[in-house]
Each structure stands twice: as C-alpha cells, then as structure tokens.
Amino acid sequence: MKRGSWHFCSRWQNLDEMNKIFLSGIVGLITLALVQATDTQKQPETGAPAPDFSLTTGDGSQVSLKGYRGKWVVLYFYPKDFTSGCTLEARNFQRDLTKYEQADAVVLGVSVDTAQSHKDFCAKEGLNFKLLADPDAKVSTEYGSVMDYKGAKLAARNTFLINPKGEIAKVYTGVKPAEHSDQVLKDLAELKKS
C-alpha cells in the first residue's frame, strides 16, 4: 500500500512540475508579446519635425512645444510621479538644471499624471522645471511612448532631444534613470558642436 501511494504522489509531483514549466512558457510568450508591442511603437525619427502639443503644467498654465523654438528642448516621458525611478530621474535633471540653462536648453517632463499631481511632486522634490500633464496619453502616443501597466496607459521612459528648429535631434528609448541626465548633457554638447 505504501509503495502504491508513493507512486501516486510521484505522478502528481511530475504533473505539478509539468504545469509549472507549461505556465512559465506561457508567461514568457506573453511577456515577449508585450515587449514586442512596446518596441513596435513608432517614435518620431531623428531629423523629423517634433510633433507639437499644448499641455497643462503643475501651475495650471499651458505649455506648447512651439513656444520653445530657438532653444534646445529635453522632452522626457516617464511613468509616474512619486515612484523611485521617476523621482531619481527628476532629481538628476534638477541637479543638472544650471548646465541645461547654460546650454540654452529647457527640460520638460511628461506623464499621464494630473497637473495637481505634478504640482505636488515638484513641491516635494524641489523641481524647478515644468512637468506636463498628459492624462489621456495623447502626446505620449504621438511620441511612441506609451506602455500598458495593469490595464492603465502610462508614459514609457523615453526622451527626445529637440533642436532649436523644432526637429528631433536624438531619441532615447528604455532610459536608465540614474545615468540619463549625464548622457543627455554629453550628447547635447556634441550636437551643439555640429
């Protein structure tokens, strides 16, 4: 009797392991499909005109991209106010803000958060650059910078360096928050030379 029950349990363990392997394969395929869906978004190409927009800032004013013609613009998209990666990225842009100003560049952040959320985030983190509210993800979509997170649309972590003529000078996708501002400053200095 003992031997038979062991044999029975052994089969269930094998079945359980097979189910786990099968499920991890399914999860892997779904993950791959989601990554591919994100990767197939079309960002504006280098040299193309940057799509214009008008969005609300944390202080309630409207900002249009065309209002910054004649300046370099660092337009960065990020998922959510008050999250660790987004906070680190914003702090680093704030840390380097004087360097951007010396390079005649402005920093604009965009997420699907509300203008009130941006106002609170700027106050908490001491941010002195504009964060723009894109609650319907319209602008994020135009820039190929949307991701789905648990059924909600969020801005994907992409950045666009826009030259004074309003053209895309450089595109960054899948940004790493810790080193991003340093990289943008380096590229900005190179682009200004050419």
Q: What residues are annotated to the active site?
A: 86
| Angle at the Cα of 123 from the Cα atoms of 114 and 70, rounded to 5 degrees | 75
**Helix (H), strand (E), coil (C) string for 20-41:** HHHHHHHHHHHHHHHHHHHHCC
Per-residue exposure over 17-55, b if at least 16 CB sit within 10 Å of its own CB, e if not: eeeeeeeeeeeeeeeeeeeeebeebebbeeeeebbebeb
Question: Which residue is listed with tokens 């097979």?
Answer: 18
